[in-house]
A and B are shown apart, each in its own frame.
Chain A
Amino acid sequence: MGAFYFVRRAIENMKETGLTHLLSMGTIATSFFLFSSFLLLSINFGTFLETWEKKVQIILYLKDGVGEKRALQLKRELQKREGIKEVRYISKRKAMESFKRDLAGYGGVLEGLKEEIFPASLEIKLGEAFRTPERIRALAARLKKIKEAEEVQYGGIWLERLSLFLYILRWGAWILGAILVIIVLSVTANTIRLTLYNKREEIEIMRLVGATEAFVKFPFYLAGGLQGLLGAGGSLLLLFFLFHLFSLKISPYLSIYFGQLRLSFLPPDLIAEVLGVGVASGLMGGILSLRKAAGI
């Protein structure tokens, strides 16, 4: 008898306790939906954070007395430091022009502003490896020690908070994943046990006529695996559908605020892993139920 025969028997077994199997697949699908949603959120949030990390820069405001020559010398010195990708000198004049450009609509209010009131600064862009909150903070602390520095500003605080949020999200996904495996195991084990109970006469007859234990048990293992696969697959389909709807609505707003940032669905390898977890935990549920119901 080939593999197809066992699949047919597994499906027949599932059909005989159809409602129970449907209900347990629904429970599995709900659990997987939650897990996959967390994964999807953490992936997209991670991308969002990466995009913003690229834009992070440190602004070193220079003290009033620091002349342009010294500022340019500082620029050259800083450019040589590890982790710094690019340094741009913004003179008092440039700072004023930029301010006026940004607030062009307020015309009259801006009249009479003098460049002296604007601080000159150095805009420091960081290398990729140095865009983590810890490294930004460490670099900012070192820059503060430069005697020409009046103040050092960086967008690290919100980045740190968002990173923490992403960290919680990722851990949440894994904790949820662990809970999910337990749910799938127990739901599958109970459903298969019920099927076993319904099939006890057939199993008894099979054993009496000389069917091997593998022949008797394999369809039940398979039913467990199938249940996990269908539950996980169903949840991914639902998630994909909802994701598609959501991204259609939200994409125009994203492009306004975040430019190139695009939402993405779970990558194929992660989809395969989710399905794999579904099959493996369903299979384990089947094995557990058959161990507990060894007398049948």
Chain B
Amino acid sequence: MDLYQHLFAPFADYGFMRRALVACLALALGSGPIGTFLVLRRMSLMGDAISHAILPGAAIGFLVAGLSLWAMSLGGLVVGLTVALLAGLISRVTDLREDASLAGFYLMSLAAGVLIVSLRGSNVDLLHVLFGSILSVNDQALLLVAGIASLTLIVLAVIYRPLVAECFDSGFLRAVAGHGSLYHVIFLVLVVLNLVAGFQALGTLMAVGLMMLPAAAARFWAIEVWSLTALSIAIAFVSGWSGLLISYNYDLPSGPAIILTAGSFYIASIVLGRHGSIRARFFPGTHFHAR
């Protein structure tokens, strides 16, 4: 009964808590696998860069159509994709590495976004608009987030093998199939889509947190790609759940509460994880049950 009171009652009592929890589940299902692949492909900072590129896109959507879910998502999607693809293209046709060209493009689009917003004169509270709140997720936003999560899982299932192959040996895939860059592009589209979904619920910057922190934490516990993915989904969802409860019980803003919970999973994994953690490296013989 007491456990029920603590863990479930808030969700049973309040519709907004339920919707927030479902949004977390959908985000976890989409972002978990994407984050895992980003970590495996050494593109962890890419998500961060692309999320910055989404922000001005959403701002433009807001300026054009007001507080419309679809306009802001579309704006974020278009600008995010443009930046991601342009960066990839530039790195292929010039000598510049992808991370450098991405940095260049996202900084430009971020600056352009700030410029466009301030041109409008009125500074409507953009923090609230751009840093969406998981407490005010409505049915529309929920559909969008769930739809993107479903699409992500389906597409990932289809391109799973080539994507994994490319993670570990991109030259091999190019040699046998010649489609390496195609899978890369599809993957980039998924990254942007998931960040747009996360932006609706958590805001652009927090969305990257739910994508990267669970995936990074999972690296200390699992080795296979499937287990990494499953574990990061689980960590992301549990972070969402406990973050919401913390926000409920201790009056803390929910977005940061969720991300910091994921962050504490990450820190704990660094220290205690099974593979490559501080414990595994410096105290290889010790286990929890040893004492």
Asked if A and B bind, the verdict is: no
